[in-house]
Structure 1
Amino acid sequence: MNNKVTVIYAHPYTGSFDHAILESVTAELSAKNSEYEVIDLYQDNFDPVYSNEELRLFSSGIAVDPKVKAYQEKLKSSNVLIFIFPVWWYGLPAIVKGFIDKVMLNNFAYVDTNTGIKGLLSLDKCLTITTSKSPTWYLKYFGGNNIQKVFLNLTLKGVGVKQTKWVNFGSIKQSNAQTRKDFLQKIRQAVAKLL
């Protein structure tokens, strides 16, 4: 089966290491002749804040923002997701949280049941790639492990993602050219495995 990959990228600075990760990911997808699209939340000027109208329609699952509708169409036609973003304050940047809040709507990404939510998306796999000033072990053992416990295990699995994997480049301030190069190679290998 051919994979259709949607990459959700969130970093405002094109000179960032996150941007280098994005370039490595898309280079590997191209090398493998994979069909993919990139959602660049900052480039798209995505507004992560709910409007009064959006909250009024929340329970019906109706999207107002045309960008949300376009993102939903991309997700519907995908079976693999790749998220790329920095870890800020031990969790998701606001723009990524807003993407989840506004795009993963009731009757699109999930339905309510008597025992919680049931995911509606047919997403086989999700690779989440992050960067952080803190070491990865600190995020996991002292920082609440929010990416793994909340974002992957609860949020993404809750909307129907079957397999999730998290790879973090920690201690970014102490990194050097060689450790960054090695990580980009590791990412290309992770993307190849994902396909």
Structure 2
Amino acid sequence: MAQVLLILAHPLEDSFCAAIAARAEAALEARGDGVDVLDLYREDFDPRLSRSERRCHYSDQPDHSAVADQIRRLRAADKIVLVFPQWWFAMPAILKGYFDRVFQPGVAFDHTPGYGQIRPRLKTLQAVLAVSTLGSARWVSALYMGYPVKRQLRRAIVKTCAPQARFRMLNCYDTEKIDAARSARFLARVEKAAAAL
């Protein structure tokens, strides 16, 4: 049994992202995992990195008190599931702010002398599953944009802070034109991926 942090970043309770998160949660619980759902909008998470938080970025004694609960939940997680839309081929500001504020030095990584390559701290994180929705077609994300969110999550965040963690990403394209049959097929893919996490 693993402890999974499921992070949802969508403002609408009846969104397809909310349905995806619910399906992933059900699949994880069905296999006996503990699931901590962090709905960033419902919990009114403030994505803005404060002046004091930024000033502490290079401090030997950083103050993480403003996000202590989120840090506790991150540290308790063996695995992470991210569910979010892509807007302008980027993650929502509230999710980016989560990474800015919670994946801080002393939490997700440590600086090295001379500020060279950073040292990962999330050494017990086993896997990350990212599931996102896009209004655009797959070819636009792949050929024109080069999968920017996948590259950011996999290379800049996961492999930097938890290089041992497996990473997988599922994208649902053309969601503004999605019908019931395609929606059901994608939710089945999410269920399978969550069950195999």
Same fold (TM over 0.5): yes
Aligned position for 1:129: 131
Which secondary structure does the structure 2 equivalent of 1:85 belong to?
strand
Over aligned residues, Cα RMSD in angstroms?
Answer: 1.3
Q: Which runs of 5+ in 1 are unaligned?
A: none
- C-alpha displacement of 1:137: 3.0
The answer to whether residue 36 in structure 2 is matched with residue 37 in structure 1 is yes
- C-alpha displacement of 1:105: 0.7
Aligned position for 1:142: 144
1:118 and 1:160 in contact (8 A); partners too: no
For 1:57 and 1:112, locate their aligned partners in 2 and report how far apart those are by CA, in whole Å: 12
Deviation per residue, 1:43-94 (Å, 9 max, x gap):
01000012222222222342141xx211111111111000000001111110
1:90 and 1:144 in contact (8 A); partners too: no
1:54 and 1:64 in contact (8 A); partners too: no
| Counterpart residue identity of residue 147, structure 2 | N
1:86 and 1:130 in contact (8 A); partners too: yes
Which secondary structure does the structure 2 equivalent of 1:57 belong to?
helix
For 1:189, which of 183, 189, 192 is the aligned residue?
A: 192
Aligned position for 1:56: 55
For 1:63 and 1:123, locate their aligned partners in 2 and report how far apart those are by CA, in whole Å: 20
For 1:173, which of 176, 189, 193 is the aligned residue?
A: 176
- C-alpha displacement of 1:179: 0.2
| Counterpart residue identity of residue 98, structure 1 | G
Structure with the larger strand share: 1
Which secondary structure does the structure 2 equivalent of 1:116 belong to?
coil
For 2:134 and 2:110, locate their aligned partners in 1 and report how far apart those are by CA, in whole Å: 33
For 1:124 and 1:31, locate their aligned partners in 2 and report how far apart those are by CA, in whole Å: 19
- C-alpha displacement of 1:136: 2.6
For 2:45 and 2:58, locate their aligned partners in 1 and report how far apart those are by CA, in whole Å: 22
Aligned position for 1:47: 46
TM-score (norm 2): 0.92
- C-alpha displacement of 1:144: 3.3
Structure 1 window deviating more from structure 2 (18-27 vs 154-163): it is: 154-163
